[in-house]
C-alpha cells in the first residue's frame, strides 16, 4: 500500500519528465538541440506564477474544467499498477470506472471550451467528442480479451505482478495487435500526431490545443498537468505490455518499468517526427484501425483458447 | 391495497376539482397540483412499504357482474409504482408554475384532468392482475396521454403528432390484445397464467407482446411516434411520458418474461439485439436534432435500448444458467429504469423552463443561458452528466451493473460470448455518443453567448415551483450515484418478483459492488476538493483580468459565429450516414460577392422515411382492393351479420 502510494506520487512527479523525452526525440530528428528535458517543469512553474485573464463569456464551468480534468486523471492513476506493484486502489470493474472517469474529464474539457463562445474552440470540442467514441469501443474490445485471458475485470489483474507475461504466453502474437491498438488509442486520446498536432500554427486544425486557447496561468497549468498524467496513464499500460519482465527486486522492477515508459515516449516522439498529421476526415479511419486490430486479436485468441 | 386505492382517489379528485374551479385560475392550479401531489405521496409510501418487505398485496372486484377486476402489487409492480408516483409528484409541483397562462384557464383545467387520469391509469397498469384490468387501464393511459399530447391543438404539427401517437398506441394495443388472446387460448382464463401453453404458443405470445409493448416503450423500429409526441406535449407531461409512461412498456415486457418463463437464449438474444440497435440509433438521431425536446425524446429511445440490453443480458444469463450474469443484467436494467426516470424528467423539466422563458426550442437559436438561469443550468448539467453515464451520478451505476453482467457472459462459450461482446461494445459506443450529444446540448444551449434576443433576455423569476422539482431530481441523481447501496435492493426485490431465485445468487458480491462505487466516488470527490484547494492556493493574490474571448486575431466577432449544434454533430453524423441520411439545403456560393444565403439540414429517421413506402402504401393498396365488400347496401350488411352468426354457431 505504502509502496503503491509512493509509486503513485512518483508518477505524478515524473510524468512531465517523460513527456520531455518526446521533445528531445523530435529535436533529434529535426537536427536541433531542442528544449531541455525538464521543459515541462519550467512551463508549469512559469504558468503557476502568472495570473489569469478570463473571457467575459465564461461561467464557473470554465474554471471547473481544469480542476475536473486533473482530478480525474490523478484518480485514474490510483487504479493503475506501476512497475508490477499492485495499485493503490482496486475493485472488481475498476477499469470501467476509470474509463468513464476519463470520460468525465473529457466532458468538462469540452464544456470549458464551449464556455468561451469561440468558434475555434467549438471546432476542437466537436473533434474531441468524436474521436474518443471509437477509442472507447476498441478499449472495451481489449478489455474483453484481457478479461478472457485473466478472468478478472480490474487493472491490477492485467498489469501487476507476472500477468502481462502470462498474457504473452497464452495469447502470443495477437497481443502484438493489442499493443499497436493501444498505441493508436494513446496517440488519439492524448492529441498527438497523426491525429492532432499540438505544434501547428493554425487553430483550425487543432483538437486539444485549440480547446484550451483561452485558459491561462494556473488554470492552464492544471490542464497541462492533467494531460501529462493522462499520457502517462496510457503509456504505462503499453510499457507493461511491451516489457512484462519482473526480476523480483523492487528497484529492478521499477527500472524495467521506467525503461518501458521511456521506449513508449520515444516511440511517440519518432511517430511525431516521421509522420504528418492526417486530414481530419481521415482520422476516424486511422482510429478504427485500432478497433479492427483489437477485434481480430480477440477473435484469434478465442480460437487458441478453445 | 387500501392505501393504494386511497391515493388513486386523491389523484382523481386532483383532476376533477380543477374542472369545477377553473374560473379561479390560481386556486385551480393549487387544487390540481396539491391533490395530485398528495395522492402521489400516499402512493409512494405504499410502494416503499411493499419494497421494504411488505410482501405482495391483492384485491379484486366484480365488474359488470361477469368479469373480475383484479389487482396485485408485488415487488416488480411496487418498483414501477415508485418511479411513477415520484415523477408524477414532481411534475404536479412543476405544473403549477409551468401552466401560467390565465387565458387558457379551461385548457389548463382539462390538462389537469387528463394528467390525473394518466397518473392513476399508469398506476393501475402496473397493479393489474388480469388481462381485462390490464387492457382497461392500458387504454385509459393511452387515451389520457393522447389528450395531453394534443393540449396545444391549435398548432398543426401538434395535431399531426397526436394523430401519429393515436395510431401507434392503438396498433400497439392490438398486438397486446392478440398476445393476450393466444395466452387466453392456452389457459382458458383471464388470469396471467401460461402453464398450459406450448413452447410455440409462448413464443407467439412473447413476440406479439414485444411488438405491442415495444411500441409503447419506443423500441426501434416502433419508436416513430415518440419524437413527435414528446415535444408536442407540455414539458411536465413530456417528463411524465418519457420518464415513466414509456416504462410501462418495459414493465409489460418484463411481466411477460415472468409469466411465460421463456428463458431460452434465442429470446434473450432478440431483446438484446433490439436493445443495442435502439441504443445506438436513438442517440445518433438525437445528435442530429435541432429541437431540444425532440433531441431528448430520441434519447428516450437510446435509454430504453440500454434497459433492454440489461434485460437481454439477464435473460441470457437465466437461459445459460449463469446466475450472477442474470442478476446483474436484470438489476442493472431495472435500476436504469429508475435512473432514467430521474434524469430524463429532470432534463425535460429543464427544457421546459428554457421553452417557457425563451419561447424557443431550437438549439441553435439559444446560448448563454447558464449565466442568467443558474439553477436551471446547473441542474440540467447534472442531468446531462447522469444521462451520459458518467460517475459519480446515477446513470453510471446502472450501466456499470449491465457492463459487469455482460462481462460475466464473456467467460462463457462462443454464442453467449458474441452476445456479450455486442452488449459491451454497444454500451461503449452509446456512452461515447451520449457524451458527444450532451456536451453539444450543454455547450450550445447553456454556454457561450446568446444567439438570439429571446435567449438574451431571460431570468428565473417566478418559477420557484419549476425549479424545486429540478433541484430534488438533481439531488436524487447524485445520491443514487454516490450511495447506490440504499437503492440497489429495490431492483433486486423487483427481480425476485420475476421468479428469479435471488436467494441462491451470492448477494454479497452486489453489496460489495455498491461499497466500491461509493468508495470510488468519495475518492473522486476528495481529489476534486484537493485540486480545487490547490487552484485557490495558486490564485492567491494573483492579478485576475477580464476580457473578451481570444478571437485568433479577429476583432469583430458576433454571437452567430459560434460553433452551432449542427456543425458540432456534423462529422459524427457523417460517420453514421447509412443509418441517418442527412438532407441539406443550401445554394452553392457563387461569384466574388455572393448573395445572402441560407442553410437547412434535416436528419432523416430511416424508419420514418420508409414507413410510408413499406407499410402505409401496401396497407392502403390492400384495403383499396377490399373496398367492394363495403358497397352501402343495407340488405347485404344484414346478410353478413347472419353469415357471421351461422359460421360462429358452427365453431362454438
Cis, bond preceding A194 (omega within 30 deg of 0):
yes
- d(C-alpha A170, C-alpha B116), whole Å: 62
Contact across the interface for B550 and A144, Cβ inside 8 Å: no
Query: How distant is the Cα of A192 from the closest Cα of chain B, in angstroms?
Result: 20
Contact across the interface for B444 and A151, Cβ inside 8 Å: no
pLDDT at A224: 95
B561 interaction partners in chain A (CB closer than 8 Å): 119
Nearest to A133 among B396, B429, B570 (CB): B429
Collapsing DSSP states into helix, strand and coil, what is residue B559? helix
B386 interaction partners in chain A (CB closer than 8 Å): none
The residue ranking higher by pLDDT, A216 or B632, is A216
B420 interaction partners in chain A (CB closer than 8 Å): 144
- d(C-alpha B213, C-alpha B247), whole Å: 9
pLDDT at B505: 63
Interface membership of B571 toward A (CB under 8 Å): yes
pLDDT at B439: 95
Query: How distant is the Cα of B86 from the closest Cα of chain A, in angstroms?
Result: 28
A72 interaction partners in chain B (CB closer than 8 Å): 524, 527
Interface membership of B471 toward A (CB under 8 Å): no
Per-residue pLDDT of B258-277, as tens digits, reads: 888 877 888 999 999 999 99
Is the pLDDT reported for residue B412 higher than 90?
A: no
Interface membership of B632 toward A (CB under 8 Å): no
Contact across the interface for B404 and A97, Cβ inside 8 Å: no
Query: How distant is the Cα of A175 from the closest Cα of chain B, in angstroms?
Result: 18
Confidence class for position B375, pLDDT limits 50, 70, 90:
very high
What number of CA atoms fall less than 13 Å from residue B262's CA on the CB side?
Answer: 30
- d(C-alpha B325, C-alpha B492), whole Å: 13
Q: Name which of A4, A98, A107, A195 to mutate to probe chain B: the one with the most chain B Cβ atoms within 10 A of its Cβ.
A: A107
Is the pLDDT reported for residue B454 higher than 60?
A: yes
Query: How distant is the Cα of B382 from the closest Cα of chain A, in angstroms?
Result: 12
Mean pLDDT of B273-295: 95
Q: Percentages helix, strand, coil for chain B, rounded to the nearest 5? A: 75, 5, 20
pLDDT > 70 in chain B, percent: 99
Question: Which of A147-161, B18-32, B48-62 is predicted least confidently?
Answer: B48-62
B513 Cβ contact partners less than 8 Å away, ≥ 6 residues apart: A92, A93, B400, B401, B404
Interface membership of B284 toward A (CB under 8 Å): no
- d(C-alpha A156, C-alpha A82), whole Å: 9
Contact across the interface for B433 and A133, Cβ inside 8 Å: yes
Query: What is the gyration radius of the CA atoms in chain A, in angstroms?
Result: 19
Between the two ends of chain B, the Cα-to-Cα distance in Å is: 39
Assess contact for B135 and B180: CB atoms under 8 A: yes
Query: How distant is the Cα of B561 from the closest Cα of chain A, in angstroms?
Result: 6
pLDDT at A141: 95
- d(C-alpha B66, C-alpha B277), whole Å: 44
Nearest to A116 among B532, B534, B549 (CB): B549
- d(C-alpha B491, C-alpha B494), whole Å: 5
pTM (predicted TM-score):
0.95
Interface membership of B546 toward A (CB under 8 Å): yes
Is the pLDDT reported for residue B414 higher than 80?
A: no
pLDDT at B376: 95
- Residue in chain B closest to A220 (alpha carbons) equals B535
Per-residue pLDDT of B56-106, as tens digits, reads: 888 888 888 788 899 999 889 999 999 999 999 999 999 999 998 888 899
Question: Which of A65-69, B123-127, B559-563 is predicted least confidently?
Answer: B559-563
Question: Which of A165-169, B34-38, B374-378 is predicted least confidently?
Answer: A165-169
Assess contact for B363 and B444: CB atoms under 8 A: yes
Query: How distant is the Cα of A107 from the closest Cα of chain B, in angstroms?
Result: 6
Nearest to A151 among B411, B531, B548 (CB): B411
Contact across the interface for A70 and B391, Cβ inside 8 Å: no
Q: Tell me how crowded residue B51 is: count the other CB atoms within 10 A of its CB.
A: 19
How is chain A classified by DSSP, letter by letter? -HHHHHHHHHHHHHHHHHHHHHHHHHHHHHT---S-TTHHHHHHHHHHHS-EEEETT--HHHHHHHHHHHHHHHHHHHTS--TTPPPSS--TTHHHHHHHHHHHHHHHHHHHHHTTT-HHHHHHHHHHHHHHHHHHHHHHHHHHHHHHHHS--SHHHHHSTTHHHHHHHHH-THHHHHHHHHHHHHHHHTT-TTT--TT-S-GGG-SHHHHTTT--HHHHHHHHHHHHHHHHHHHHHHHHHH-----SSHHHHHHHHHHHHHHHHHHHHHHHHH-PPPPGGGHHHHHHHHHHHHHHHHHHHHHHH-
B538 interaction partners in chain A (CB closer than 8 Å): 48, 217-218, 221
pLDDT beneath 70: ranges in chain A: 304-306
B370 interaction partners in chain A (CB closer than 8 Å): 59, 61
A71 interaction partners in chain B (CB closer than 8 Å): 524, 527-528, 530-531
Mean per-residue pLDDT over chain B, rounded: 91
Cα dist from A264 to A41, A168, A252, A271, A292, whole Å: 20, 18, 19, 10, 22
Q: Name which of A52, A71, A189 to mutate to probe chain B: the one with the most chain B Cβ atoms within 10 A of its Cβ.
A: A71
| Residue B584 buriedness (CB in 10 A; 0-12 / 13-18 / 19+) | exposed
Nearest to A96 among B400, B429, B539 (CB): B400
Residue with cell 377490399: B626
Is the pLDDT reported for residue B477 higher than 60?
A: yes
Q: What is the DSSP secondary structure assignment for residue B585, as one 8-state letter?
A: E
A63 interaction partners in chain B (CB closer than 8 Å): 535
pLDDT at B615: 87
Nearest to B531 among A71, A100, A140 (CB): A71
Contact across the interface for B520 and A91, Cβ inside 8 Å: yes
- Residue in chain A closest to B427 (alpha carbons) equals A137
Contact across the interface for B432 and A147, Cβ inside 8 Å: no
Assess contact for B495 and A69: CB atoms under 8 A: no
Tally A–B CB contacts below 8 A.
245
Contact across the interface for B552 and A222, Cβ inside 8 Å: no
> In the structure grid, which three cell numbers stand for residue B168, read together?
401507434
Interface membership of B544 toward A (CB under 8 Å): yes
Question: Which of B137-141, B433-437, B552-556 is predicted least confidently?
Answer: B552-556
- Cα angle A49, A55, A59 (rounded to 5 degrees) comes to 100
Confidence class for position B158, pLDDT limits 50, 70, 90:
very high
pLDDT at B503: 56
The CB-based long-range contact list for A290-293 (8 Å cut-off, 24+ gap) reads A290/A134, A290/A135, A290/A138, A290/A180, A290/A181, A290/A182, A290/A184, A290/A185, A290/A188, A291/A134, A291/A137, A291/A138, A291/A141, A291/A181, A293/A138, A293/A177, A293/A178, A293/A180, A293/A181, A293/A184
A303 interaction partners in chain B (CB closer than 8 Å): none
H-type alpha helices, B241-372 = 247-260, 265-287, 292-319, 323-358, 369-372
- d(C-alpha B390, C-alpha B366), whole Å: 25
Contact across the interface for A97 and B400, Cβ inside 8 Å: yes
Contact across the interface for B448 and A115, Cβ inside 8 Å: yes
Is the pLDDT reported for residue B531 higher than 80?
A: yes
Max CA-CA distance within chain B? 98
Contact across the interface for B447 and A51, Cβ inside 8 Å: no
- d(C-alpha B286, C-alpha B233), whole Å: 18
Is the pLDDT reported for residue B161 higher than 90?
A: yes
Question: Residues 444..463 of B with a Cβ closer than 8 Å to A: which?
Answer: 444, 447-449
Mean pLDDT of B357-384: 94
Interface membership of B533 toward A (CB under 8 Å): no
Assess contact for B312 and B269: CB atoms under 8 A: yes
Contact across the interface for B421 and A67, Cβ inside 8 Å: no
- CA–chain centroid gap for A139, Å, is 12
Query: How distant is the Cα of B236 from the closest Cα of chain A, in angstroms?
Result: 27
Assess contact for B214 and B251: CB atoms under 8 A: no
- d(C-alpha B360, C-alpha B188), whole Å: 54
Interface membership of B403 toward A (CB under 8 Å): yes
Amino acid at each position: 500500500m505504502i509502496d503503491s502510494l509512493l509509486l503513485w506520487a512518483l508518477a505524478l512527479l515524473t510524468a512531465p519528465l517523460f513527456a520531455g523525452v518526446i521533445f528531445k526525440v523530435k529535436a533529434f530528428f529535426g537536427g536541433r538541440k531542442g528544449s531541455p528535458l525538464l521543459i515541462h517543469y519550467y512551463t508549469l512553474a512559469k504558468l503557476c506564477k502568472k495570473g489569469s485573464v478570463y473571457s467575459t463569456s465564461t461561467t464557473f464551468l470554465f474554471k471547473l474544467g481544469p480542476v475536473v480534468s486533473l482530478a480525474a486523471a490523478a484518480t485514474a492513476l490510483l487504479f493503475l499498477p506501476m512497475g508490477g506493484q499492485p495499485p493503490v486502489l482496486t475493485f472488481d470493474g475498476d477499469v470501467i470506472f476509470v474509463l468513464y472517469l476519463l470520460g468525465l474529464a473529457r466532458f468538462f474539457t469540452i464544456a470549458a471550451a464551449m464556455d468561451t463562445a469561440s468558434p475555434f474552440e467549438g471546432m476542437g470540442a466537436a473533434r474531441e467528442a468524436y474521436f474518443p467514441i471509437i477509442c472507447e469501443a476498441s478499449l472495451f474490445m481489449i478489455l474483453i480479451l484481457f478479461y478472457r485471458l485473466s478472468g478478472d475485470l480490474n487493472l491490477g489483474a492485467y498489469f501487476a505482478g507476472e500477468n502481462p507475461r502470462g498474457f504473452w504466453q497464452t495469447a502470443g502474437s495477437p497481443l502484438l495487435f493489442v499493443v499497436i491498438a493501444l498505441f493508436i488509442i494513446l496517440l488519439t486520446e492524448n492529441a498527438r500526431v497523426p491525429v492532432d498536432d499540438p505544434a501547428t500554427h493554425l487553430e483550425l486544425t487543432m483538437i486539444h490545443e485549440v480547446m484550451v486557447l483561452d485558459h491561462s496561468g494556473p488554470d492552464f497549468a492544471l490542464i497541462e498537468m492533467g494531460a501529462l498524467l493522462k499520457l502517462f496513464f496510457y503509456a504505462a499500460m503499453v510499457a507493461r505490455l511491451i516489457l512484462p519482465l519482473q526480476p523480483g527486486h523492487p528497484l529492478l522492477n521499477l527500472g524495467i518499468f521506467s525503461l518501458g515508459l521511456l521506449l513508449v515516449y520515444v516511440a511517440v516522439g519518432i511517430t511525431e517526427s516521421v509522420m504528418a498529421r492526417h486530414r481530419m476526415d481521415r482520422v476516424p479511419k486511422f482510429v478504427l484501425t485500432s478497433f479492427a486490430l483489437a477485434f481480430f486479436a480477440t477473435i484469434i485468441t478465442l480460437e487458441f483458447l478453445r | 391495497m387500501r392505501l393504494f386505492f386511497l391515493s388513486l382517489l386523491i389523484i382523481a379528485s386532483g383532476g376533477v376539482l380543477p374542472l369545477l374551479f377553473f374560473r379561479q385560475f390560481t386556486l385551480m392550479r393549487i387544487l390540481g397540483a396539491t391533490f395530485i401531489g398528495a395522492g402521489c405521496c400516499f402512493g409512494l409510501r405504499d410502494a416503499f412499504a411493499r419494497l421494504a418487505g411488505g410482501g405482495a398485496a391483492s384485491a379484486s372486484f366484480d365488474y359488470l357482474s361477469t368479469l373480475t377486476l383484479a389487482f396485485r402489487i408485488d415487488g416488480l409492480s411496487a418498483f414501477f409504482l415508485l418511479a411513477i408516483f415520484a415523477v408524477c409528484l414532481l411534475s404536479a409541483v412543476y405544473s403549477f408554475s409551468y401552466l401560467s397562462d390565465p387565458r387558457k384557464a379551461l385548457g389548463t383545467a382539462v390538462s389537469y384532468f387528463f394528467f390525473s387520469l394518466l397518473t392513476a391509469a399508469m398506476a393501475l397498469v402496473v397493479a393489474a392482475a388480469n388481462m381485462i384490468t390490464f387492457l382497461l387501464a392500458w387504454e385509459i393511459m393511452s387515451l389520457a396521454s393522447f389528450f395531453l399530447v394534443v393540449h396545444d391543438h391549435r398548432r398543426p404539427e401538434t395535431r399531426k403528432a397526436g394523430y401519429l401517437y393515436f395510431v401507434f398506441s392503438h396498433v400497439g394495443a392490438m398486438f397486446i390484445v392478440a398476445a393476450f388472446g393466444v395466452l387466453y387460448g392456452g389457459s382458458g382464463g383471464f388470469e396471467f397464467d401460461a402453464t398450459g401453453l406450448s413452447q410455440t404458443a409462448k413464443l407467439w405470445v412473447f413476440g406479439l407482446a414485444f411488438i405491442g409493448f415495444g411500441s409503447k416503450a419506443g423500441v426501434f423500429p416502433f419508436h416513430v411516434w415518440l419524437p413527435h409526441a414528446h415535444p408536442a406535449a407540455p414539458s411536465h407531461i413530456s417528463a411524465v411520458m418519457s420518464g415513466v409512461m414509456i416504462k410501462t412498456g418495459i414493465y409489460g415486457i418484463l411481466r411477460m418474461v415472468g409469466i411465460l418463463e421463456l428463458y431460452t437464449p434465442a429470446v434473450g438474444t432478440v431483446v438484446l439485439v433490439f436493445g443495442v440497435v435502439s441504443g445506438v440509433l436513438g442517440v445518433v438521431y438525437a445528435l442530429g436534432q435541432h429541437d431540444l425536446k425532440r433531441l431528448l425524446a430520441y434519447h428516450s429511445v437510446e435509454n430504453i435500448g440500454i434497459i433492454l440490453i440489461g434485460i437481454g443480458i439477464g435473460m441470457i444469463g437465466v437461459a445459460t444458467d449463469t446466475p450472477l450474469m442474470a442478476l446483474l443484467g436484470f438489476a442493472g436494467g431495472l435500476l436504469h429504469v429508475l435512473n432514467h426516470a430521474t434524469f430524463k424528467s429532470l432534463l425535460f423539466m429543464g427544457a421546459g423552463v428554457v421553452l417557457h422563458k425563451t419561447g424557443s426550442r431550437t438549439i441553435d437559436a439559444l446560448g448563454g443561458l447558464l449565466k442568467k438561469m443558474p439553477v436551471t443550468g446547473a441542474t440540467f448539467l447534472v442531468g446531462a452528466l447522469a444521462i451520459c453515464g458518467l460517475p459519480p451520478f446515477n446513470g453510471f451505476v446502472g450501466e456499470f451493473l449491465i457492463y459487469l453482467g455482460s462481462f460475466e457472459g464473456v467467460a462463457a462459450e462462443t454464442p453467449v460470448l458474441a452476445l456479450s461482446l455486442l452488449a459491451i461494445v454497444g454500451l461503449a459506443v452509446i456512452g461515447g455518443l451520449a457524451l458527444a450529444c450532451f456536451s453539444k446540448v450543454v455547450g450550445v444551449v447553456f454556454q457561450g453567448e446568446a444567439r438570439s434576443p429571446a435567449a438574451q433576455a431571460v431570468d428565473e423569476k417566478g418559477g420557484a415551483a419549476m425549479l424545486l422539482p429540478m433541484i430534488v431530481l438533481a439531488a436524487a441523481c447524485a445520491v443514487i450515484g454516490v450511495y447506490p447501496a440504499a437503492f440497489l435492493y429495490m431492483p433486486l426485490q423487483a427481480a425476485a418478483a420475476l421468479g428469479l431465485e435471488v436467494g441462491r445468487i451470492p448477494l454479497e458480491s452486489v453489496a460489495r459492488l455498491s461499497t466500491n462505487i461509493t468508495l470510488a466516488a468519495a475518492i473522486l470527490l476528495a481529489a476534486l476538493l484537493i485540486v480545487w484547494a490547490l487552484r485557490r492556493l495558486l490564485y492567491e493574490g494573483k492579478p485576475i483580468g477580464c476580457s473578451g474571448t481570444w478571437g485568433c486575431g479577429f476583432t469583430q466577432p458576433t454571437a452567430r459565429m459560434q460553433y452551432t449544434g449542427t456543425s458540432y454533430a456534423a462529422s459524427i453524423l457523417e460517420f453514421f450516414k447509412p443509418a441517418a441520411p442527412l438532407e441539406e439545403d443550401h445554394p452553392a456560393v457563387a461569384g466574388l460577392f455572393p448573395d445572402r444565403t441560407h442553410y437547412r439540414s434535416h436528419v432523416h429517421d430511416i424508419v420514418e422515411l420508409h414507413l410510408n413506402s413499406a407499410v402505409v402504401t401496401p396497407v392502403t393498396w390492400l384495403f383499396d382492393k377490399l373496398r367492394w365488400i363495403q358497397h352501402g347496401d343495407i340488405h347485404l350488411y344484414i346478410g353478413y351479420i347472419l353469415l357471421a352468426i351461422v359460421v360462429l354457431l358452427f365453431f362454438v
